[in-house]
């Protein structure tokens, strides 16, 4: 089975021929965080940024200040959190297959 993400390079004639040659069944899940683990990381970063803004009473900041805060937050993400997201991909893919391409809890 090949889980397709809609990338045009994977929909070209050569790709379709290759899928046909190996008798691959194709699945086209919706664009969602289910198949895009970086969205999960961005969600965690966004939550941290919001908490920082509340706890530090940030109501206004320059683009440069915000950019620095974003970079610091991303660089400060625990490696374990990132590893956990990456390790969840097998489970995510299994759930997408079980759901016939429909959205999952991710």
The list of the chain residues with pLDDT below 70 reads: 1-6, 28-34, 101, 103, 105-106
Please say whether the beta carbons of 83 and 100 come within 8 A.
no
Question: What is the structure's pLDDT at 26?
Answer: 75
Question: What is the structure's pLDDT at 64?
Answer: 97
Question: What is the structure's pLDDT at 105?
Answer: 66
Q: What six digits make up the tokens of 93?
A: 């893919």
Question: What is the structure's pLDDT at 30?
Answer: 60
**Residues forming beta bridges with residue 2, ordered by sequence position:** 26
- Residue 96's CB: how many other CB atoms inside 10 A? 21
Q: Which of 81, 82, 93, 105 is nearest to 5 (CA)?
A: 93
Give phi and psi for 26, each to the nearest 5: -105, 145
Question: What is the structure's pLDDT at 48?
Answer: 97
Question: What is the structure's pLDDT at 3?
Answer: 67
CA 27 – CA 4 distance, rounded (Å):
6
């Amino acid at each position: 089975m090949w889980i397709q993400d809609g990338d045009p390079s994977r929909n070209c004639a050569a790709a379709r021929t290759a899928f046909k040659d190996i008798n691959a069944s194709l699945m086209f899940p919706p664009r969602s965080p289910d198949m895009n683990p970086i969205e999960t990381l961005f969600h965690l970063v966004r939550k941290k940024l919001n908490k920082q803004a509340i706890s530090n009473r940030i109501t206004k900041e320059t683009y440069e200040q915000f950019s620095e805060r974003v970079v610091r937050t991303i660089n400060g993400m625990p490696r374990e959190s990132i590893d956990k997201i990456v390790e969840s991909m097998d489970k995510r893919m299994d759930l997408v297959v079980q759901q016939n391409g429909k959205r999952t809890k991710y």
